[in-house]
Amino acid sequence: MDLFFDQALARRYHSRSQAARVLTETWAKYNMYCPRCGYPRLTHFENNREVADFFCSDCKNEYELKSKNGAIGRRISDGAYETFIQRITSANNPDFLVLSYDLEALRVNNLWVIPKHFFTPSIVEKRKPLRANARRAGWVGCSILFDQVPIQGRIGVIRNGTPVNKDDVMKNVERASHLETSNLNARGWLLDVLNCVNSISKEDFSLVDIYKFENKLKVLHPENNNIQAKIRQQLQVLRDKGFLEFLGRGVYRKKGSL
């Protein structure tokens, strides 16, 4: 995997944003493999397709590339809010490839895969409508809250300029796929509770520890009136999926780390 962009290609563009788009897409096309099946290349979709940028010609999985110059930070801006919510509820939602690069050095710094089933309403921020005097007045955009994606769903492919071993990437993607659920509501609960578990610093924790997140979960799921029961149910799901071990007497142990 070559982390540098094509310098000759970079010289052809005067606009930084146009150059960045071409450089990152070209880079992904020639350097990124399919993290689902390991096929060595991704295929670029036609430019006019909005939803996904790449697909794997072997397993047919689709990927959308999100790129940013410098650090990714907390937020990644995306398109229209309603469109995004529709997309994450549909079955053909793509996995995301989140890439941070250095446009001065013309190289990739970090790359993560976020599998499609990690997208829930909790990680999408609705922005304020554009003002009346804006060209697209009333338009509502959204941002993806990158730091709200559970760590199990932010799978490193390149970390601080060093590629992660491909087998490890694929193993982590495979493990993350165990968190797939049948519908968006179930997905939301599972990943929100997983985020709470992740923010407990101890390896072993009790129901008392996890019940401390009751108010936070109530804000995310105001329709639910029995949050504690829902938490216990989700802990069982995490245990069944191999992310937790139940030690008895309301004590749980985290299993494996990414």
- Binding residues (CB under 5 A) for Zn ion: these are 34, 36-37, 39, 56, 58-59
Q: Rounded to an integer, what distance in angstroms lies between the CA atom of residue 162 and that of residue 2? A: 10
**Nearest-10 crossing angle of helices 227-240, 184-198:** 90
Query: Which are the contacts of 69, defined by CB distance < 8 A and separation ≥ 6?
Result: 20, 100, 101, 102, 103
258 near 169, Cβ under 8 Å? no
Q: Which is nearer to Zn ion, 51 or 59 (CB)?
A: 59
Closest distance of CB 33 from Zn ion, Å: 8
Q: Is the dihedral of CA 182, 188, 191, 196 positive or negative?
A: negative
- How many of the other CB atoms lie within 10 Å of CB of 92? 9
Q: Which is nearer to Zn ion, 111 or 194 (CB)?
A: 111
Q: Which is nearer to Zn ion, 45 or 211 (CB)?
A: 45
Q: Which is nearer to Zn ion, 34 or 197 (CB)?
A: 34
Closest distance of CB 34 from Zn ion, Å: 3
Six-digit token string for 203: 């390896």
- How many of the other CB atoms lie within 10 Å of CB of 258? 14
Q: Is the dihedral of CA 6, 19, 65, 192 positive or negative?
A: positive
Closest distance of CB 97 from Zn ion, Å: 13
Six-digit token string for 8: 């000759």
Closest distance of CB 101 from Zn ion, Å: 24
Q: Which is nearer to Zn ion, 54 or 252 (CB)?
A: 54
Closest distance of CB 61 from Zn ion, Å: 5
Closest distance of CB 23 from Zn ion, Å: 24
Q: Which is nearer to Zn ion, 20 or 56 (CB)?
A: 56
Closest distance of CB 58 from Zn ion, Å: 5
Q: Rounded to an integer, what distance in angstroms lies between the CA atom of residue 186 and that of residue 78? A: 24
Adjacent-strand bridge partners of 96: 64, 114
Six-digit token string for 224: 């639910």
Q: Which is nearer to Zn ion, 13 or 39 (CB)?
A: 39
